[in-house]
Amino acid sequence: MSALHDLTLAQQSQALATGQTTSVALTQHALDRIAACNGQLGAFLHVNTEGALADAAAADARRAAGQARGPLDGVPIAHKDIFVTQGQPTTAASKMLKGYMSPFDGTVVARLKAAGTVSIGKVNCDEFAMGGATENSAYGVAR
């Protein structure tokens, strides 16, 4: 099998379904890569380490019990910082919203959670999504 970070979403899903890896292993690998690279890349504005590992363990337990929610169950993903996510800060890459914690999940986040995805964090974007290359992010350009 390729390095975990080289796998496509479909390949990660297949590796989970066939028992070649676990959600905890995929998630920990992603978190390790973020820790190693984010200082240089500036891609993540928030990393959901504890929540992601807990969600990954729950996905592995569902899969072991034959109750996987579907092909996305246990696959680690990140959300653009424009999607409100309960329990994680959402700033829309703006200093105006620094520290904002949504009391609910946005529709896209709720649907992905219902499918069993593991939210590893929030990625940089242009402030209030007004652009396409993070040139207007209050937190710097992602590389």
Note the pLDDT tens digit of each residue in 19-50: 999 999 999 999 999 999 999 999 999 999 99
Do 82 and 134 contact (CB within 8 A), yes or no?
A: no
The pTM assigned to this predicted structure is 0.93
Residue 41, Cβ density class (10 Å: 0-12 exposed, 13-18 middle, ≥19 buried) = middle
Residue 17 dihedral angles phi and psi, to the nearest 5°: -65, -35
Residue 40 dihedral angles phi and psi, to the nearest 5°: -85, -35
**Distance, CA of 93 to CA of 42 (rounded, Å):** 12
> What pLDDT is stored for residue 131 in this prediction?
86
pLDDT in tens, 112-132: 999 999 999 999 999 999 988
Which whole-number Å values give the CA distances from 139 to 23, 31, 89, 129, 132, in the listed order? 30, 20, 14, 13, 15
First to last CA, the chain: 28
Which whole-number Å values give the CA distances from 4 to 68, 86, 137, in the listed order? 21, 28, 29
Domain boundaries, the chain: 4-129
